[in-house]
Amino acid sequence: MEQQWTIRLSAPQDAAALLDIYTPYITDTAVTFEYDVPTAEEFAARVREISAWYPYLVCERAGEIAGYAYAHRLRERAAYDWAAELSVYLARGMQGKGLGTMLYRCLIELLGLQHLRGLYGCVTLPNEKSERLHRKLGFVDAGIWRASGWKAGTWHDVGWFEKRLGGAGAPEPVIAFPLLDEKKIQECLQRYTEMLNMEE
């Protein structure tokens, strides 16, 4: 019987595998505007820093990580406390299996538990798969930054997508992810793990 997928929280020992997935996006694409591949230590520090406040999820099968997704702060001013930018990266050959969709859906639900209100996706254009993913999950077009990034010898447009959670009233204080109810976190991870395996 084929091993099933598991969606779980990242662990310190995952950093090298996550960096292996991320590296081709730096070296071979304009999906990320980062130029230089970080060291393993730098990347591990990023994961620790993000995980101190937001979910950092991985999807694996038989101990091999196939993709990951996380949120990070959108802007530094206090009024942006309820806003976050989301990212998802899949290993080569892992597209089209529903992994990115389930990681994103799980991430969105966990951010809702933290009382986040505004979720944002930043997509180097054109990127039909990423644009379709965001729209499928209820994000709407929020504008385009024309020729805002220079990489691989050309200028690139960036499209922004946004999704609102909750109502229009005053928000509840944001809860740092490590302070969320562990049972609720595990229930969420298990639910999306089960849905992902049912889709296969």
CA–CA separation, 21 and 115 (whole Å): 30
Residue 117 amino acid letter: R
pLDDT bracket for residue 166 (50, 70, 90): confident
* 51 in Cβ contact with 5 (< 8 Å): no
Residue 189 amino acid letter: L
pLDDT tens-digit map of 38-93 = 999 999 999 999 999 999 999 999 999 999 999 999 999 999 999 999 999 999 99
Closest to 34 measured CA to CA, from 42, 43, 45, 25 = 25
pLDDT bracket for residue 168 (50, 70, 90): confident
Provide the 3-class DSSP secondary structure of residue 15.
Answer: helix
- Overall domain count for the chain: 1
CA–CA separation, 103 and 193 (whole Å): 9
State the greatest distance between any 2 C-alpha atoms of the chain, in Å, as a whole number: 51
Beta-sheet strand order (sheet of 83-90): 5-9, 56-61, 64-73, 83-90, 118-125, 154-164, 140-151
CATH number of the domain that residue 102 is part of? 3.40.630.30
Instruction: Enumerate the β-bridge partners of residue 70.
Output: 56, 87
Which single residue is written with the structure tokens 């959108």? 74
With a threshold of 0.85, does the pTM exceed it? Answer: yes
Instruction: Enumerate the β-bridge partners of residue 87.
Output: 70
99: domain range?
Answer: 5-199
